[in-house]
Amino acid sequence: MKLSKLFTKTSKNISSQIESVNAQLLTRAGYIYQEMAGVYAFLPLGMKVIKNIEQIVRDEMDKIGEELLMPALSGRERWHATKRHDAIDILMSTRAANEKALEKSTAEYILNPTHEEIITPIAKHFRTSYKDFPFAVYQIQTKFRNEARAKSGLLRGREFIMKDLYSFHTSEDDLNKFYELAKERYDAIFDRLGIGQDTYITFASGGDFTDDYSHEYQTVLESGEDVIYLDRKNKVAYNKEVATPEDAKKLGVNFDELEQVMASEVGNIFPLSTKFSEHLDYKYSDEDNIQKNVWMGSYGIGISRLMGVITEKFADDKGLVWPESIAPYMYHIVALPDEENIKVANKVYETLGEDKCLYDDRDSASTGERFADADLIGCPVQIVVSKKTLENNCVEVISRSDKFESFMHPIDEIESLETKLA
Ligand code: ATP
Ligand code: MG
């Protein structure tokens, strides 16, 4: 992609309404645009990052479930059936358009904040024999929540992107087995996103879902909204909301030795037991044709929140720093204005490929602006072509992610750059 053609431009000044570090940086660099607090457009660069995060999540989830897409709207009956219509304080709804419908129970459409109420009847439609179990399905989709405070940019949206997977089982044992498999996939996802080191599986409350514990995946982050107690040695943590000294003792942890840090919840998995199948009357027939409640699990990952978390985790005072696995482009090519430089830069661009490179071909930008924008946009590798580098028949290769370490690379060996960097 050539910078002269890119839909967005970087900006020095942004609205004072944008408070969080992640939204400020991503707005300045042209990745997102704030429609209102908690509601963002993902612009071409931002869309690429979202797609890359989604692809890693999809790749791991495909190993344990099938992808589908459910509607963002639903009728209100099932939310009453599960008693969540009035229990979920962030539930958003809109009135039905036609007057007749207003008198019926369908008068209100729910903008789904999560999809247990939607997936359960769908699963019931297709799978009711013990032979049909276990199975799992997932989607990557926009959720709506009427969050009271939406001042943390992508960390807390009123409209945000979530991956939600649901699993269905004939016994608690089978649910528990699958639950462990899901944990393995979650660990793989956070490793591939570059935040595995700092992401802890965390005992937390069951929220609106269950009275039992759930497991959150918390990434240590100064601006995170949760307080967790870390046990670095055992790589587990306890959310402050459940980690009273008594709770901690029950979980076999000495409360006094835990280290307290701020963190952001990037994922949450719940053993739902039979709560939803009971409320929504989802039973299977066992080998003796006896009807039994289905066991369920629910597994979320905050896709757009992850983009915010990763932004804040790696950014420095010059701008964004993307892990290679989710960067919009691997290379950012900067040629200092000069005919010969531009000729070489064109060749580098063609060789490495337009889908891997962001190429600063702008006539108007000064040298300083070019370097500042490359730093701000945060592609992992910067390639500089200048008189000085050409004297040695080289380009300069600078690592954005690694304290700007650099080396000279021969022009006629550009093809081998990717291998060299790997
Ligand atoms: P929180 O405690 O932060 O409000 P939650 O526990 O209500 O989140 P879940 O219902 O567990 O959220 O949703 C699954 C995942 O979706 C969360 O782990 C988080 O990563 C993400 N998520 C939840 N709410 C938001 C939001 N308002 N904006 C962005 N991502 C969110
Ligand atoms: Mg949660």
- Ligand nearest 241 Cα, by number? 1
Average pLDDT over every residue of 328-350: 96
Q: How long is the chain? A: 422
Ligand 1 centre to CA of 359 (Å) is 36
The ligand 1 atom at the shortest distance from the C-alpha of residue 113 is 10
**Domain chopping of the chain, boundaries:** 21-72+112-314, 331-421
Ligand 2 centre to CA of 267 (Å) is 7
For 139-181, write each residue's pLDDT tens digit.
Answer: 999 999 999 989 999 999 999 999 999 999 999 999 999 999 9
Alpha carbon distance 376, 318 (integer Å): 6
The residue whose C-alpha atom lies closest to atom 29 belonging to ligand 1 is 156
Ligand 2 centre to CA of 34 (Å) is 24
Superfamily holding 21-72+112-314: Bira Bifunctional Protein; Domain 2 (3.30.930.10)
The residue to mutate among 50, 114, 265, having the most atoms of ligand 1 within 8 angstroms of its beta carbon, is: 265
The tokens describing 326, both together, are 């989710």
Q: Same CATH topology for 21-72+112-314 and 331-421?
A: no
Identify the architecture of domain 331-421 in CATH: 3-Layer(aba) Sandwich (3.40)
The answer on pLDDT for 311 being more than 80 is yes
| Share above pLDDT 70 across residues of the chain, in percent, rounded to a whole number | 93
For 15-51, write each residue's pLDDT tens digit.
Answer: 888 889 999 999 999 999 999 999 999 999 999 999 9
Binding pocket residue ranges, ligand 1, CB within 6 Å: 114, 145, 147, 156-157, 160, 162, 207, 265-268, 300, 302, 304-305
| Share above pLDDT 90 across residues of the chain, in percent, rounded to a whole number | 82
- Ligand nearest 265 Cα, by number? 1
Sign of CA dihedral 135, 193, 26, 370: negative
